[in-house]
Structure 1
Amino acid sequence: MSSGSDSALSSLLGETDRVQQQVIPSFPLCNVTEEDLAQNPGFCKLLSALAQRVDQTGLLVQLNTELHKAEQKLQSQKRHWLQSESLQGALQEMIQEHRVRKQHATASPDGNMFYETMEKSLLVSRCITLLDPSGSVSRDQPSLLGLNPRLLMELMPSEKNVQRMKQVLPEKLEKHLKKKCLDLLSYYQPEWEAESEGLKTTKMSHLSAQLDKDKKRAESLKESCQESTILLQRQTRLYLSEMMKCVQLLQSFVLDHRLRVQTDLDGKKLDYFEGKCELVLQKIKTEMVEIQLDTYTADTISAHRKIRETMASELKACQAEKRSVESKLASFEILGRGFEALAEEYCRLRQEIDVKNWALKEFTQYRDK
């Protein structure tokens, strides 16, 4: 019983793994992992059912088929339109070249008739196309300038000239296109210009394949160039970010080194300025000594010494007098305040005596005159 349940479980797990392996490649645009599908089995079954009805782009298989057919039809119509436009462009170039040749040489009457007929036919067909570009235009709608294709067909050259033109046109058109191809070959490979026309024709048959190959190579180079540009931009941003980090790290190193060296530099500057100041002071002292030596000679010094001795002796005499006066004042202070009043009275009387003596002297001098 257990072996049967184990086999059923293993078959169920195998079926689940197979469904997951089918679902994930069917939806490459969805970021679905095996873990997501394992955790959501219902969602896994839904995607498995959708994988049978839609393609990898998310479109229905039938819609994708119709879209593919429509694209093929559009490409076919584009090719026909391009062929028609290319043919008309080639015919216009032939007409322009004929006009240029007429300016330098006289053309034959048949040639003039051919190009005039072709030019008129192209102009009329172009106008008819512009009047009715598609079959979906309503017949009740008024035509441009009141014209209709029947009126424009009356402007066509004669049927005889048109038939002649159609007979000659393939040969001339072939020559013109061959000349353009040879010019293109000479432009594409200038070294082939000196070769024979037969060899050029042979190489011209391989020109289309070579151009396709070069076009694919150019597109591949363009894609690789874009990838290289993106990679270069990423590397440039990474390089700039790393450079900024290096600059910041260098700035921190410079700042740390500057702070570390600044202390030593300041100490050396301080020692230098101290030495310089000491030198200036010594120089000032030297200058002062020189000034003193120049100012004070031996005679001046001896005279100053004598003056000093005299002043010292006078200072001693004054000090002795000061001491005697101080002793007298001390003895006067012992007598008390009564003696102070008598001293003041004595001073006043001395002043009056001095004034009267001065007045008597003045009076005597005036009387003698």
Structure 2
Amino acid sequence: MDYRQLGKIGWKTCFSAHLTEEQERNAFPVRVGAHFGRRILCLTGSEEIALPIEQLDVCGELAVGDWLLLDNESRRGVSRLPRESLISRKAAGVKSQTQLIAANVDTLFIVCSCNHDFNQSRLERYLALASESHVNPIVVLSKADLCEDRDSLRQQASQLISGLIVETVDARDSGDMEPLAYWCRSGQTVALVGSSGVGKSTLAMSLGAGPISTQGIREDDSKGRHTTTVRSIHCLSAGGVLIDTPGMRELQLADCEEGVAEVFDEVVSLAEDCHFRDCSHQGELGCAIAAAIESGELDARRLRNYLKLNAEQARNAQSIHERREQDKKLGQFYKMTLSANQKRKY
């Protein structure tokens, strides 16, 4: 195996530990570079291989950034290597399904523009997602040239969780981009997430991802238009790789209790001092959180968003679990019916 070529697309020594001697002889690793309906684009570092999804069935549901093993001769999927991280959300709309966003990501650039798009509650959603996925979050406030007081927005974002790194950038200014280069070095995988029109594609190109079409924003409300329509991997000038993702009009959390708790750790800590163990923090006697809000120690907005996100992730997790159980039972029914029909034939 040419690990030097694999290193160009984010291979790390930790993935080698999952390979058996037989696999090293008879298979080779590729990285999922893009998902085009029924075809998967696989990268080796030196070439691109487009394969029908049926050829990779054994690897299970795939995300951009996954590492797969392909048979040397047939190029059929052998297995998917264990993921170092996985970013997912509840699928948009009414479907009770999980949507995979990106796998094996080291750093998540949460992009928010310095205009109407800036929203602390939305940023907390992305931060909870990153925390649950065990991915390092960096908030990137883009289009800083449109804001007269970028430092104020930076301060508001940095207060959301302790130690959060926030960078304000004009992606067309190479000097503004320098602080981001460290996270894009060789062997690192960065993913971009954010709403439509916040400048993700411009940011990706400024990091060396190559030409990506861009569109402007509506001047009346700063709403963006979709530019990126598929998740895809790009090699960066600093040596790392970037996973570009379509703009998210809706980010629904599911099964994200740990992530929400980490983002709102001060709320969780205060709740331990409530008089009643099952306190709902809605004005009960002896509620430590209510007292903290009244004294100014805690922002009421933080509590509202904590309660909202915690309820949302629990509700979505339950609906997705129920859907999986229904699909499992339906699959078992189909197998029983098929088996019974075959017995009748004989």
TM-score by length of 2: 0.22
Higher normalized contact order (CA 8 Å, seq sep 6+, divided by chain length): 2
| Higher share of residues assigned strand | 2
| Higher share of residues assigned helix | 1
Q: Which has the larger radius of gyration?
A: 1
TM-score by length of 1: 0.21
